[in-house]
Amino acid sequence: MAGGMGKRLGKDEKPLTLLLGKPLIHYVLDALLGSQNIDRIFVATSPRVKRTIDWICDFKKEHENVGIIETGGEGFVHDMVLAVENAGIKGPVLIMMADLPLVTSGLIDRIIEKYNEAGTPALSVHMNLDVFTRLGLRPDTVFHKNSSFIVPCGINILDAGRIHEEQEDYNLILDDKELALNVNAQADLAVCERFLKN
């Protein structure tokens, strides 16, 4: 999902925000391309990210399993459903935000393997709130589950054939710091830079 703006970042197109000289979306695409469990990649864009669309069109010239789907930019859920339908996907589809630059191929594969074990139509990835606290981050959304607080991480797996239905969801709770470092503000970008430099 790469159709968002970077208003809180002070940028006009969030996917192209540079992290140590490389666009955020490039990190995400590299991780997906390196996964052993991903067959095809579709980048869902919107009319608000014209420069991102140009960048992806150039990037996919060297990566034949990367496609682009333009959505209407009417909201995350609407655009996600439209992208899944237009991609013609059957079976499981992994949905990932373009602002998770530190997620690795290995982590993506672990998530997919857990989905295969869970046996539910859907899986959502969360983290314990204290991971964010230790990193000095303040998440936008927090849920209370089993006497603890968890934060959604922007990675989900759904059954594409049931994309219009509410699907039984397995909450995968991880402690990988890389998942906490999604970029919404300048402070998040600074934390990611320090993490990468270390």
22-23 and 18-19 beta bridge pairing: antiparallel
Residue-range definition of the domain harbouring residue 92:
14-197
CATH assignment of the domain containing 94 = 3.90.550.10
The pTM for the full model equals: 0.90
Q: Checking phi first, is residue 35 left (phi over 0); if not, alpha (psi -120 to 50) or beta?
A: beta
Q: 23-32, 150-159, 186-195 — which is least confidently predicted?
A: 186-195
Position 9 in a domain = no
Position 5 in a domain = no
| Whether pLDDT at 155 is above 90 | yes
Question: Percentage of residues in the chain with pLDDT exceeding 90?
Answer: 61
How much is the pLDDT for 116?
96
Phi, psi of 9 (to 5 degrees): -85, -15
Position 3 in a domain = no
Position 48 in a domain = yes
- Which has more confidence, 27 or 90? 27
Q: How many domains does the chain have?
A: 1
| Whether pLDDT at 166 is above 80 | yes
User: Can you list the pairs that 6-12 forms with residues at least 24 positions away whose Cβ atoms lie under 8 Å?
Assistant: 8/184, 8/185, 9/183, 9/184, 9/185, 9/186, 9/189, 10/186, 12/51
Position 188 in a domain = yes
Position 189 in a domain = yes
pLDDT digits (tens, 9 = 90+) for 47-63: 989 999 999 999 999 99
